[in-house]
Amino acid sequence: MGTELNIKVKSNLVNKYRGGYPLITKQAINDVGSLEEGVLINLIDEHNAFIGKGYYGKQNKGFGWVLTRNKDEKIDQSFFERKLKAALDKRRSFFQDKETNAFRVFNGEGDGIGGFTIDYFDGYYLINWYSEGIFTYFDHVLTSLKNLVQYKAIYQKKRFRADGKFIEEDGFVDGERGEFPILVKENGVNFAVYFNEEAMVGVFLDQRDVRRTIRDKYAKGKTVLNTFSYTGAFSVFAALGGASKTTSVDLANRSLPKTIEQFSVNGIDYESHDIIVEDVFHYFKYAGKKGLKFDMIILDPPSFARSKKFTFSAEKDYKNLLKEAIAITEKNGVIVASTNSASFDMKKFKGFIDTAFKESNSKYKIEEEFSLPRDFQTIREFKEGNYLKVVFIKKLNG
Ligand code: SAH
């Protein structure tokens, strides 16, 4: 580090960066040649005037992030510590909440530094690094955490690694090693969490408000189909909200023991619920043949997925997924349609919903909508950072 490179932004995009857009995209800069990961970059306009300072770090999203539009601001230990402190201060009410001890404390560009996130799990801090470039600032982040918080331990995942080996050994960085699973709480509900598995830890924290809404407002007395269910988090909340039965469907073998575990750590008899390891699209066919119908269907697919028979891309295939669900939803039943795809916005998502119902000759009413919760801080200048879109849709006809 130490050296700073000047890189020209294409003239048609200069205003965007002057307006605070933080992601350094491939389209914005001309030939960058081969840059060293983590190197500081000064973005300049065609007249060599300073626009902003950032770092180079290759991610699937882009080439790095702008960190400041102040030419004189130093990107040093104190910069990282200031950003981290501001982020922690914003989460003060989360730290005081007795019912929830798992939440995000640093959300990348939303908190001023794109490329990494930090989640809090009952005294443990988990850092996710999304580029080699940001990882070169490891010492700054670690020192900041040491200065700002008390922790049981810090863990990390290097999500940038192409070989999928996101953790070295168990991902331990500092403190005292935990024993996995650790049990954390969300609105009074337990989650068994593992840092020593590859990408995922057992719970997606960004769905917290959706889970609570299902439990508190929708589940009572209902039959619930939870598709792409992973550890069954939605099923557990539905069961605790009084669902008459939940059915969880996920293709991955691990989903069976993991769902049993999530039910069990909440004192629910998993045997009174169905946990099915199967391709969701097969299951829809089976349910159609058997004439099965549900009062509530949760759709939470990954943005992209490939199984033996199907490839799924949210942008291309969400409409058809909805049609499969509409066909087996009871009259006045509710479909919870969720997507974390950043490649389309809420407006387009609602377009998929509308088309799916029209093509099914069915009528609907949108009951409520969710985007990212408060701890997943986002900024106006980077709308695509608010990737989560969840819509509760009531099917009005039988
Ligand atoms: N809804 C979950 C998170 C889903 S993660 C939660 O709230 O925790 C995406 C899941 O989709 C993964 O567990 C993956 O195994 C599963 N999956 C991907 N393609 C699938 C398919 N065709 N059928 C069933 N499950 C699938």
For the ranges 13-27, 159-173, 187-201, 288-302, which has the lowest average pLDDT? 159-173
What pLDDT shows up at residue 1?
47
d(CA 117, CA 268): 32
Whether the CB of 233 sits within 6 Å of ligand 1: yes
Whether the CB of 276 sits within 6 Å of ligand 1: no
What pLDDT shows up at residue 307?
75
Domains within the chain, CATH numbers bracketed: 4-68 (2.30.130.10), 77-193 (3.30.750.80), 205-396 (3.40.50.150)
Distance, CA 344 to ligand 1 centroid (Å)?
20
List the residue whose alpha carbon is closest to atom 20 of ligand 1. Answer: 251
Mean pLDDT, the chain, whole residue set: 96
CA–CA distances in Å: residue 314 to residues 194, 224, 319, 373: 27, 22, 8, 21
228: pLDDT confidence band, cut at 50, 70 and 90?
A: very high
Percent of the chain with pLDDT over 90: 91
φ, ψ of residue 391 to 5 degrees: the values are -125, 130
Whether the CB of 248 sits within 6 Å of ligand 1: no
What pLDDT shows up at residue 191?
98
Q: Is the pTM of this model over 0.85?
A: yes
The string of pLDDT tens digits covering residues 280-295 is: 999 999 999 999 999 9
Q: Residue 242 pLDDT more than 70?
A: yes
Whether the CB of 302 sits within 6 Å of ligand 1: yes
What pLDDT shows up at residue 29?
85
For the ranges 124-133, 260-269, 304-313, which has the lowest average pLDDT? 304-313
234: pLDDT confidence band, cut at 50, 70 and 90?
A: very high
Distance, CA 170 to ligand 1 centroid (Å)?
24
d(CA 28, CA 9): 5
> For the residues 157-170, what does the mean pLDDT come to?
90
Q: Residue 190 pLDDT more than 70?
A: yes
The string of pLDDT tens digits covering residues 247-279 is: 999 999 999 999 999 999 999 999 999 999 999
Atom of ligand 1 nearest to the CA of 211: 7
For the ranges 13-17, 64-68, 307-311, which has the lowest average pLDDT? 307-311
CA–CA distances in Å: residue 313 to residues 160, 207, 280, 338, 343: 22, 20, 14, 13, 10
Whether the CB of 264 sits within 6 Å of ligand 1: no
Q: Residue 2 pLDDT more than 70?
A: no
> For the residues 301-316, what does the mean pLDDT come to?
88
125: pLDDT confidence band, cut at 50, 70 and 90?
A: very high
Cβ atoms of 206 and 372 closer than 8 Å: yes
Q: Residue 331 pLDDT more than 60?
A: yes
The string of pLDDT tens digits covering residues 16-44 is: 999 999 999 988 887 677 889 999 999 99
Taking the CB of residue 13, how many other CB atoms lie within 10 A of it? 17
Q: Residue 361 pLDDT more than 70?
A: yes
Picking from 100, 90, 302, the residue whose alpha carbon sits closest to that of residue 212 is: 100
Site to substitute for ligand 1 among 203, 210, 228, most atoms within 8 A of C-beta: 228
List the residue whose alpha carbon is closest to atom 18 of ligand 1. Answer: 305
